[in-house]
Structures are given as C-alpha cells and as structure tokens.
C-alpha cells in the first residue's frame, strides 16, 4: 500500500521548487502527491513544475450538468443532425392541395435562430410538468446523456393561399421534450409539452393540434397512450402536455428502439400541415435496451459516448501512467481532450485474456525501486498494467505485435523524501514503437482501476464495441 507522510490537513502548497533527482538517464519523470483531494497537486514532468489546486477540483464540480443522472461519466453532449436536403414544405403543400382541389393549405416553415431564441423563452406556470433540463441550451439542438434525450425548439406553421402562395396567417409553437431511461429497468418515459406562442391572421381564431409518435423495433417496444388523444383545439397561449410511457418487451440480447414524431396542425377548409422529427434526422432519437450486462435489463442512449474517470486520488500511480501513456502513444487512445479516438469494449473474455497475455508476456520483468527505499510494509505487490486496457479493441494484443516489449515501458517509484504529504513517481523509458503501453504497477492501483472499469461497464451498459473516453 502506498502511504503519504503526515502533514497538516488542508495546507495548500502554492510554490514548489523542482529538484534535479537521480533517476535513470533517458527516462521522463512524473510525480503525483498521494494526498487528500482538497490539497493542491504539483506535477513534476520533464523538468517543469506546474501547480494546480482547489480551483481545479471546483471547476470539475462546476461542470456537472443538471440532466438526470449526470455525473463525471455522463456530461451532456450535443448530437448533430444528419445532413439532409432542404425541402420547401409550402411548395409541396401547394402542389398536394391543388391536386385535391383545396383552396388553402397549412405548411411548416423554417424559423430563424433569433426568432427561436425569442419565442422559446416564455412558459406559463400552468404547465405542471416543469421545464426540461436542456431549457438553457440553443433551441433546436438535441442534447443527450447516457440516460436522457432533451430538446426544446420552435415550429412555425403558415396558412397559405394555394393559387398564389400568399400567407394568410401564421402560428409559432414552442415544443419541449425530455426522454428518461433507466439503466436498471425496461421502462422509459417521454415527456412532451407544446405552447401556442404566437398567432396571426387566419389562425388567430384557433386551430387543432395533434401529436403522434412511433417506437419501432418489430414488436419489442410497447407504447402507451400519448400526451393527448386525437386533435385538440388550441388558441393563443394554449398549452398541452403529457407523457408517453414505453416498455421494452424483449428479454434476450438487445434491441435499438427508433423514435419518430409528427405534430399536425389542422384548420377547417385547409389541407393539414405537419412537421416531423426523430431518428430520420438525428441518431440521438434512439433508445437501446439490453439484458447483456449486469443483473438487470436496462436502457441507454447509444448515441452518447460516456467517460471513464480514473480516480486519481485513490489510484494516483495508475492515473498518472494512463495520462502519460495517452500522451506518448501517437494515437492518444481514449483521450478526447487530445483529439484521440475513444476506446471500444471487447466483451469476449477469451480475446481479453489473449490481449493481456500478449502485452504482459514473458518479456515483462517488474522493476522494484521500492525495496530498501521505504519500510517493508510499504513495498507494493507489483503487476503488469497494460494500456489501452486488455478489454478493448485497441489493446496492444490486437495491433499485431509479437510481444509486449514492443509497447512503451513505464515503471513506478516510491515517494520522494523531503516533499510534503508524500510523493509517488512514474518513469518512462523511451522505447517501444507500438501504439500500446505497459507498466510496472502496484497491485492496489492496477486492480483498483480494473474493478472500477468493470463497474463502469455495467453502469453505462457498455456492449461489445461500445465506445468510451478515458480521463485520468
């Protein structure tokens, strides 16, 4: 076990002098204090001292979002719309109305960003459901976590004269929607709210609204009644809201449930107008349910890529090692901040074992720089620690290497005498051309991070080839 020397609790080290330390030539050094989370941390790397502290912890905490179930692994992300060819809905409506002999028609029309911002900010207290968690985000943007989909937007409909296309009236609808799933349950909810934010001309005396939804995946999605049934009459400032309740009815393997929605505006004597959205315009509108991980079935948003946050307080050596490995491997595996690609889960245990056996093969010899430098009861049990993890498609074992000796090599050092609170060091020997790394690591850190990764896999319902980021 790695222990820290005694020091006054809560003391903040504002300036640290970097000393030239007698470690092997040609190795890069990083030191990370084994201390409390509140203390300032100073990293010695490549001869430079960088001081950080309580502000860093506070900024991480401040980044937590208000989305349901949000944590470090589940910060909201924007999912872009698919690239689709723009369609003149009103031109199509006129053609269809002419063919049917209609004099007037309704159609959805584009809403400018400024109008969307202006019109999506007002909401009546009569709406019992409360605002959705993404209310403060840009209108029209689909935002997701691993267990939630959220959007608020503005839809404009125009009542047009078929023969010349002139506009006889308009209405603006503000729409809010929030879907929440459970990672330990097969049921999920879909809250929907609409408000008639503005009307003019031929629509000022009212019209009817209807909302329809589809949850497609053969018969595996059981959908309850919608927020309301059939067309409902509305006028200026009318509000309608309600919730679809859905349940995944399959008990084997997994299903991806595809969500589609259509809101229809009708006015007597006019061809109805409709606006649709869903999986056809963004991959965000999917819910995946499975019974493949953990003891219970559960559902997640597969468009979301979660982040595995390595506990750098409990496992400072492993965290520092992963941080350096991501930097030294040219592909920056798992590092979103460095422009790398996410890791992907390998679920086949035989492949995982083969990956581990390849990287941590007979060429691995633990380096013990602790015995004789620290008390015997502080000398850790050493293990081979590979990165990317053995349970990923990016493992060195799947890169075609002949031996783990081709990976970049790291080793750990004991706390540095004379530094407060105890320090632990990590050294990198400049060798190994392959895009993988292995390290002499303490059993505590290696198995601790491995256990956390297993729990993360279950909590985020990662199936085979699911992507995730790694933050050390």
Task: Give tens-digit pLDDT for 220-232.
Answer: 999 999 999 999 9
Listed residues 300, 326, 344: the one ending a domain:
300
- pLDDT at res. 18: 27
- pLDDT at res. 72: 67
* Mean pLDDT value across residues 328-337: 96
* Mean pLDDT value across residues 64-81: 75
Listed residues 252, 282, 300: the one ending a domain:
300
Domain that holds residue 198: 77-300
Which residue in 308, 307, 439, 319 sits closest to 37, CA to CA?
A: 319
C-beta of residue 438 within 8 angstroms of C-beta of residue 294: no
Q: Is the pLDDT of residue 342 over 90?
A: yes
- pLDDT at res. 69: 67
For residue 204, cis peptide bond before it (omega within 30 degrees of 0): no
In a domain, 47, yes or no: yes
> Among 105-119, 233-247, 287-301, whose mean pLDDT is lowest?
105-119
What are the distances in angstroms from CA 455 to CA 308, 408, 452? 10, 27, 5
How confident is the model over 92-128, as pLDDT tens digits?
999 999 999 999 999 998 787 677 777 765 554 444 4
Top pLDDT among 230 and 420 is at: 230
> Among 163-172, 343-352, 371-380, whose mean pLDDT is lowest?
371-380
Top pLDDT among 36 and 335 is at: 335
In a domain, 229, yes or no: yes
Name all contacts of 181-184 with Cβ < 8 Å and 24+ positions apart: 181/147, 181/148, 181/287, 181/289, 181/298, 181/299, 181/300, 181/301, 182/147, 182/298, 182/299, 183/146, 183/147, 183/294, 183/298, 183/299, 183/300, 183/459, 183/460, 183/461, 184/294, 184/296, 184/298
Domain match, 84 and 66 both: no
- pLDDT at res. 80: 87
In a domain, 237, yes or no: yes
Cα–Cα distance measured from residue 156 to residue 166, given in angstroms and rounded to the nearest whole number: 16
In a domain, 96, yes or no: yes
3-class DSSP state of 452 = helix
Mean pLDDT of the chain: 83
Domain match, 132 and 102 both: yes
Cα–Cα distance measured from residue 316 to residue 314, given in angstroms and rounded to the nearest whole number: 6
Domain match, 66 and 82 both: no
- pLDDT at res. 424: 56
Domain match, 248 and 262 both: yes
Domain match, 373 and 460 both: yes
User: Within 13 Å, how many C-alpha atoms sit on residue 92's CB side?
Assistant: 11
In a domain, 377, yes or no: yes
Q: Is the pLDDT of residue 382 over 70?
A: yes
Q: Where are the beta strands (DSSP E) in 48-184?
A: 48-51, 77-79, 104-109, 142-144, 148-161, 167-180
3-class DSSP state of 288 = strand
What are the distances in angstroms from CA 447 to CA 133, 153, 437? 37, 46, 17
The total number of structural domains in the chain stands at 2
Edge-to-edge order in the sheet of strand 467-471: 307-309, 467-471, 343-344
DSSP 338-365: TT---EEB---HHHHHHHHHHHTSTT--
In a domain, 331, yes or no: yes
Q: Which pLDDT band, with edges at 50, 70 and 90, does 197 fall under?
A: very high
Cα–Cα distance measured from residue 110 to residue 132, given in angstroms and rounded to the nearest whole number: 23
Top pLDDT among 380 and 416 is at: 380
* Mean pLDDT value across residues 168-185: 96
C-beta of residue 94 within 8 angstroms of C-beta of residue 162: yes
- Both tokens of 3, joined, read 């222990």
Domain match, 382 and 325 both: yes
Domain match, 248 and 380 both: no
* Mean pLDDT value across residues 303-331: 95
Q: Is the pLDDT of residue 56 over 60?
A: no
Does the model's pTM come out above 0.95? no
Q: Which pLDDT band, with edges at 50, 70 and 90, does 87 fall under?
A: confident
In a domain, 208, yes or no: yes
In a domain, 22, yes or no: no
> Among 76-85, 138-147, 349-358, whose mean pLDDT is lowest?
76-85
Residues 6+ apart with CB under 8 A from 349: none
Listed residues 285, 300, 315: the one ending a domain:
300
Cα–Cα distance measured from residue 214 to residue 348, given in angstroms and rounded to the nearest whole number: 35
- Both tokens of 382, joined, read 């050493």
Domain match, 66 and 81 both: no
Domain match, 269 and 321 both: no
C-beta of residue 470 within 8 angstroms of C-beta of residue 449: no
**Which helix H or strand E contains 322, and what residues bound it?**
helix 316-328
Domain match, 338 and 413 both: yes
Domain match, 380 and 357 both: yes
Q: Which pLDDT band, with edges at 50, 70 and 90, does 371 fall under?
A: very high
Domain match, 157 and 189 both: yes
């Amino acid at each position: 076990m790695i222990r820290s020397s005694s020091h006054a609790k809560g003391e903040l080290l504002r300036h640290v002098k970097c000393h030239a330390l007698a470690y092997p030539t040609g190795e890069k050094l990083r030191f990370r204090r084994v201390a409390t989370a509140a203390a300032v941390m100073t990293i010695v790397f490549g001869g430079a001292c960088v001081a950080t502290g309580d502000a860093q912890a506070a900024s991480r905490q401040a980044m937590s979002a208000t989305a349901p179930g949000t944590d470090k692994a589940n910060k909201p992300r924007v999912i872009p719309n698919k690239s689709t060819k723009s369609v003149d809905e009103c031109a199509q409506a006129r053609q269809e109305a002419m063919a049917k002999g209609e004099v007037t028609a309704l159609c959805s029309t584009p809403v400018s960003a400024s109008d969307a911002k202006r019109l999506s900010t007002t909401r009546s207290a009569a709406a019992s459901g409360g605002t959705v968690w993404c209310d403060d985000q840009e209108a029209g943007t689909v935002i997701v976590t691993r267990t939630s989909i959220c959007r608020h937007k503005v839809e404009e409909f125009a009542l047009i004269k078929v023969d010349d296309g002139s506009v006889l009236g308009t209405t603006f609808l503000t729409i809010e929607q929030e879907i929440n799933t459970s990672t330990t349950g097969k049921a999920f909810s879909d809250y929907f709210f609409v408000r008639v934010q503005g009307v003019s001309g031929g629509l000022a005396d009212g019209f009817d609204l209807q909302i329809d939804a589809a949850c497609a995946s053969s018969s595996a999605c059981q959908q309850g009644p919608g927020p309301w049934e059939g067309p409902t009459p509305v006028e200026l400032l009318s509000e309608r809201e309600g919730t679809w309740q859905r349940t995944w009815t399959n008990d084997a393997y997994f299903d991806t449930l595809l969500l589609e929605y259509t809101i229809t505006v009708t006015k007597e004597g006019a061809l109805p107008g409709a606006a649709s959205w869903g999986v056809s315009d963004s991959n965000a509108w999917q819910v995946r349910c499975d019974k493949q991980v953990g003891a219970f079935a559960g559902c997640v948003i597969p468009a979301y890529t979660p982040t595995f946050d390595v506990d750098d307080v409990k496992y400072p050596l492993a965290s520092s090692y992963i941080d350096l490995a991501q930097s030294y491997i040219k592909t920056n595996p798992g590092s979103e901040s460095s422009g790398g690609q996410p890791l992907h889960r390998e679920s086949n245990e035989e492949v995982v074992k083969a990956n581990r056996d390849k990287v941590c093969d007979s060429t691995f010899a633990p380096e013990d720089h602790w015995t004789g430098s620290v008390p015997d009861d502080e000398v850790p049990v050493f293990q081979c620690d590979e990165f990317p993890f053995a349970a990923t498609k990016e493992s060195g074992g799947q890169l075609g290497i002949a031996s783990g000796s081709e990976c970049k090599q790291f080793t750990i050092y004991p706390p540095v005498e004379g530094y407060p609170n105890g320090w632990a060091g990590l050294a990198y020997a400049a060798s190994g051309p392959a895009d993988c790394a292995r390290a002499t690591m303490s059993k505590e850190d290696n198995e601790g991070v491995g256990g956390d990764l297993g729990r993360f896999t279950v909590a985020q319902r990662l199936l085979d080839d699911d992507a995730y980021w790694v933050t050390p």
